[in-house]
Amino acid sequence: MLPLPDPIGDFARPGRTYRPKGQPITAPHHDFIAPDTQVAIPYGIYDLGRDSGWVNVGTDRNTAAFAVESLRRWWKVQGCLDYPGVDRLLVTADAGGANSADSRLFKMSLADFADECGLSITVMHFPPGTSKWNKVEHRLFSRITHSLHGQPLTSYEVLLETISATHTSTGLTVQAVLDENAYSTGRALTRAERKGVERRVERDEFHGEWNYTIAPQDPDQQHPEDPRDESGPPVSAEATFLLTHPALTGMPREQFEQLVLHLEPCQQVLTEAERQSAGRDGRGRNPGFGTLDHCHCVLAAVLRSRNTVTPTLAAELMGRKRNVLSYRAGRSKPMLAFAGPELARVLVFRRTRPPRTLEALKRVIEQHDNEINSSSS
């Protein structure tokens, strides 16, 4: 892809080209690009094995949908003829731009393309800051840039003909097509769409944030549960009873139940604020973490403040992932400030070495009960 959209019209371009003597190409000395000036957005695909290039010239915006549409056009016109009968496609791409490694829109469009063509698409993004390693820069666009030297792009036809005429002595050939589709910007995915994208992406063990595969999907296939965003089963009563022991929370269970009721209005206000923030700017909540009910959010915040049990062990007992528990505890911890001075005195205590196993946790509880029994006797 070229770094910036090129304006279409009688604009000067840098570089020199051969012309008949006395017949130079003229262009204005200063360029003033109006808001309604047509632009060309070339998106290139380079086939390493065949030394051939394909350039899809867009006329609207550089979006994730435009990037995948360029790949779709190449496959339908050229790729399926060059590679008949294949069931996999390997794509190397930069980590930013329209085909960003972080773009869910790009992955969702790739999933639609995989379903259409029946290909399992593996994408390998170059690490950030290493886009110049991409062969499309050195073997395709460097040659196209050389062909465009000193050639004003007075129309789309001139641009397409100039790009298509690009060739080298080593055998490079280039095809160029015009894409007049409109591509809207500013689209925000819903929570269900984000979950659907993550289900489709199979990340590689080596830097899965850059390397992943999207396979075609049977429309009748049932989607598996998303392990990153599952609500999970209800926390068992045994685990709740164990984790609410006074040795861990610093308060009787009856007092902890009153604390949960006291903080429920605060939780509702926090939830509403997060919802409004997410609706306004797309932020305010992390869609990658699962849910936890109010009672256990408060419990996780208390246990985290007192450090009486490790997050890993608490998450295991609650049947959640550690990042789910840590995230919910961090979001609920500010509410504890509204519980009054009595809770503040309880939270002053902080264990330096919390139990890491269930056996160690039971020993801590047993030791606490023995101390209470001995003091009462």
Q: Which residues contact 270 (CB under 8 A, 6 or more apart)?
A: 331, 332, 335
- Tell me the per-residue pLDDT of 228-268, one tens digit each, with 9 for 90 and over: 444 567 889 999 999 999 999 989 999 999 889 988 888 88
The reported pLDDT for the residue numbered 277 is 62
* Burial class for 377, CB neighbours closer than 10 Å (0-12, 13-18, 19+): exposed
Helices 311-318, 294-306: inter-axial angle, 10-degree rounding: 160
End-to-end CA distance of the chain: 80
Band (285; pLDDT cuts 50, 70, 90): very low
In this predicted model, which residue has the larger pLDDT, 131 or 357? 357
Token pair, residue 39, equals: 């632009």
What is the residue-averaged pLDDT of the chain?
85
* Helix residue spans in 118-155 (DSSP H): 135-136, 142-147
Residues 6+ apart with CB under 8 A from 133: 126
Q: Which residues contact 200 (CB under 8 A, 6 or more apart)?
A: 107, 108, 111, 214, 215, 217
Q: Which helix (H) or strand (E) holds 365?
A: helix 358-376
With a CB cutoff of 8 Å and minimum separation 6, the contacts of 64 are 98, 99, 100, 103, 105, 106, 109
Nearest residue to 160 via CA among 273, 39, 56: 56
Spatial distance between the Cα atoms of 247 and 302, rounded to a whole number of angstroms: 12
pLDDT score for 248:
92
The pLDDT, as a whole number, for residue 264 is 87
**pLDDT value of residue 1:** 43
Average pLDDT in the 41-64 region? Answer: 92
Over the stretch 97-125, which tens digit does the pLDDT of each residue have? 889 998 999 999 999 999 999 999 999 99
Q: What average pLDDT does the segment 37-44 reach? A: 90
User: Which token pair is 35?
Assistant: 């808001």
Residues counted in the chain: 377
Average pLDDT over residues 343-367: 87
Q: Is the pLDDT of residue 289 over 80?
A: no
Tell how far CA 216 is from the center of its chain: 20
pLDDT level of residue 352 (50, 70, 90 thresholds): confident
Give the per-residue pLDDT at 222.
55
How far is the C-alpha of 139 from the C-alpha of 130, rounded, in Å?
A: 16
Percent above pLDDT 90 for the chain = 44
**C-alpha to C-alpha distance for 209 and 167, rounded to whole angstroms:** 36
- Specify the pLDDT at position 213: 96
Q: Which of 250, 237, 254 lies closest to 364 in space, CA to CA? A: 250
Q: Cα separations (Å) of 111 from 71, 88, 183, 327, 374?
A: 12, 13, 18, 30, 65
Determine the pLDDT at residue 203: 92
Interval 128-186: pLDDT, tens: 888 888 888 888 988 988 888 877 888 899 999 999 999 999 999 999 999 999 998 88
Q: Confirm if 173 and 139 have CB atoms less than 8 A apart.
A: no
Mean pLDDT of 281-297: 63
Residue for token pair 């995230």: 327
CA–CA dist 85, 21 (Å, integer): 53
Domain ranges of the chain: 6-214, 237-372
pLDDT of residue 376: 67
Question: Does pLDDT of 65 surpass 50?
Answer: yes
Q: Hey, which of 43-52, 137-146, 269-278 has the most confident mean pLDDT?
A: 43-52
